[in-house]
Amino acid sequence: MNKFIKYSPIILSLLFLNACQTNSEKDKEENHDKKMVESISLKNDDSVKERSSSDDSIKLRIENKEISKNKVKKDERYIENLSLIDSIYIPDPLAKYKFSGDKFYALNRFKQTIVSLDENFNVVKELGGKGDAPELNKLIIDYFPLNDNSVLIIDPDKNDIKIQDFNNQLTVYRKFDFTIDKAAPINDKKIIIAHSKDESTDSRMNFSIWDIEKDSIFSLKNLSEYVNYPFSNLIADGQFIVDDSKRSILYFQYFHDHMLEINNDNQISKIDFIRQVKVPKGVDEGGWKFLDDSTPRQISAYLSNNIAFVISNIPEKQDRGKRVLDLYNIEKLRYLKSFILPKLNSTSPKDIVFHDNRYYLSYEDKIYILKEDKSTL
């Protein structure tokens, strides 16, 4: 009897701990069941999905409203499916595909020309060429179709920006006394430029606006503040994305965890990528500046009707080695949904164009056309 009394506190403690563990496991099971029900509801409730009939008012709806953060966990993608419709062989070394007006466009990297293409991706018109003259190019970093017959061209190798038509006539031309990296049209009269900060000794980026009519340049301070840190010229490297409406411009970053939207009033909004990963650091070894991890987190992007289509290099766990197409609503600054992109033509996709509810993806010398299995566009 004395022996039992001596050890009873220990026995009671063990019994108390066991009861706590049992309740904790029960709570976990209930929470798990709750999450499973929410997940199944998101994935299977197709009856409440709807499609807008107007391309000018594209909306992505799931459960009669866009996916919100309380439905999809942070860092968790909502995956839908794409089906292959067709493929087109491209004989020329084309890249940076775009759609504007009623035509496709592309950059011929070898010839340093901009081409317009028909719906079968045959070359219709071509402008430019390789060389030092103002109407020629050394290394086109980007271009933007402005209307049916003219294109804005950015050439950092020559440090110039120009507007040129398909008769190779220049309507605007300027060489800059600072190193330009990227540029894009805000409207018909103003160009936004990304460039190295003049007084910076630690590779900082800066943004300016070039007023074409006045031929004046002024700093875009509120956007420059976002990249006012060491090595931002490397870490924040990216490209401008503009749609036909020019209602807004995106500055899309290859290595960072977000992109920036610039509206017509030069107001800046930040949009986080759905997958947040470690941002690389800048390294300076004897004046040689580089990133400690130069693997792009994002590959390219396309903007149409306030929807940003981003090809991400960050895969899902079950689909290692496959890139993912993530969609974002720029107007509401939120993530929408994703598609796992198949490996085709023995490679991964690099460029995307969204047109007429079709996804045009470039895989080296082929364009693959895909559509959503159950379109919510």
At 211, is the secondary structure helix, strand, or coil? Answer: strand
Assess whether pLDDT exceeds 50 at residue 75.
yes
Please report where in the chains the tokens 């045009």 appear, as a residue: 360
Cα gap 110→316, rounded to integer Å = 35
pLDDT in tens, 152-179: 999 999 999 999 999 999 999 999 988 8
Q: Are 373 and 81 in contact (CB under 8 A)?
A: yes
For residue 289, give the CATH number of its domain: 2.120.10.30
Q: Is 118 within the bounds of a domain?
A: yes
Nearest CA to 341 among 291, 300, 284, 281?
300
Average pLDDT rounded to a whole number, residues 67-83: 72
Q: Is 360 within the bounds of a domain?
A: yes
Local confidence band at 40 (pLDDT 50, 70, 90 cut-offs): very low
pLDDT in tens, 96-147: 999 998 899 999 999 999 999 999 999 999 999 999 999 999 999 999 999 8
pLDDT in tens, 329-349: 998 999 999 999 999 999 999
Q: Are 311 and 259 in contact (CB under 8 A)?
A: no
Local confidence band at 377 (pLDDT 50, 70, 90 cut-offs): low
Q: Is 326 within the bounds of a domain?
A: yes
User: Maximum CA pair distance of the chain?
Assistant: 108
Query: Strand 79-80 to strand 334-340: parallel, antiparallel, or no bridges (unpaired)?
Result: parallel
Cβ neighbours, 10 Å, residue 192: 21
**Predicted local confidence at residue 112, as pLDDT:** 98
**Predicted local confidence at residue 243, as pLDDT:** 83
Q: Is 236 within the bounds of a domain?
A: yes
Please report where in the chains the tokens 């969204």 appear, as a residue: 354
**Predicted local confidence at residue 199, as pLDDT:** 60
**Predicted local confidence at residue 266, as pLDDT:** 81
Q: Is 3 within the bounds of a domain?
A: no
**Predicted local confidence at residue 264, as pLDDT:** 78
Local confidence band at 183 (pLDDT 50, 70, 90 cut-offs): very high
Give the range of the structural domain holding residue 216, as residue numbers without chain letter. Answer: 47-372
Assess whether pLDDT exceeds 90 at residue 6.
no
Helix (H) or strand (E) holding 11: helix 2-44
Residues in contact with 175: Cβ distance below 8 Å, sequence separation at least 6, in sequence order = 158, 159, 160
Average pLDDT rounded to a whole number, residues 67-81: 69
**Number of structural domains the chain divides into:** 1
Cα gap 365→377, rounded to integer Å = 28
**Predicted local confidence at residue 198, as pLDDT:** 63
Strand ranges (E), 130-186: 142-145, 150-155, 160-165, 170-175, 180-185
Local confidence band at 59 (pLDDT 50, 70, 90 cut-offs): very low
Higher local confidence (pLDDT), 73 or 270: 270
Q: Is 349 within the bounds of a domain?
A: yes
Assess whether pLDDT exceeds 50 at residue 62.
no
Q: Is 272 within the bounds of a domain?
A: yes
**Predicted local confidence at residue 280, as pLDDT:** 96
Q: Is 243 within the bounds of a domain?
A: yes
**Predicted local confidence at residue 219, as pLDDT:** 92
- Mean pLDDT is highest, among 42-46, 71-75, 261-265, 322-326, for 322-326
Lowest average pLDDT, out of 22-26, 56-60, 157-161, 188-192, goes to 56-60
Assess whether pLDDT exceeds 90 at residue 41.
no
